[in-house]
Amino acid sequence: MNTDQAGTIKNYLKAIRLINIEDDKCAFETGRIPIRQHINANYFFAQTDVSTLEKIPHPAPRRQYVITLKGKLKFTVSNGETFIIEPGITLIANDTAGEGHTWEIVDGNEWERIYIPLEEDTDDYFILD
């Protein structure tokens, strides 16, 4: 059960959303997604490979949730800002055009994650902080 230090049930998971901004740049927003929210997705897949896109600028190939199971990463968006992703923080990749983002592993050498692609016009249920 997802509870805070006082023992009350929290109704949200921490999330960071990558977004496209002007001049083909990418930025991020911090927020949350509600727990027990049904996501309109047809499939998911897992990945452990870290050799292909680490430190190479790229946009997301599709709108998708990225759920980190193992690993701690520093993401850099094309506007120059950075953030950390680790288990417990859901990444919503919405930067499907432009320069995109880079990432690098900052603790260990593994990144185990699950991708949940979102249908074209599906709400991502992100709530901005």
Which 8-state DSSP code applies to residue 9? B
How far is it, in rounded angstroms, from Cα 37 to Cα 59?
Answer: 26
pTM: 0.88
Give 14-73 as a DSSP string: EEEEEEEETTTEEEEEEEEEETT-----S--EEE---TTTTTS-B--SSSEEEEEEEEEE
The CA–CA distances, whole Å, from 19 to 7, 27, 28, 84, 107 equal 34, 5, 6, 16, 25
Reply yes or no on whether the pLDDT at 28 is more than 60. yes
Residue 78 CA: distances (Å) to CA of 18, 45, 84, 102, 114: 10, 26, 15, 8, 24
Domains, the chain, ordered by start: 12-128 (2.60.120)
- Residue range 119-127: mean pLDDT, rounded: 91
- Give the model's confidence band at 6: pLDDT under 50 very low, under 70 low, under 90 confident, else very high: low
Of 19 and 3, the one with more pLDDT: 19
Q: What is the mean pLDDT of the chain?
A: 90
pLDDT tens digits for range 66-111: 999 999 999 999 989 999 999 999 999 999 999 999 999 999 889 9
- Asked if residue 54 has pLDDT above 90, the reply is no
The residue-averaged pLDDT of 13-33 equals 96
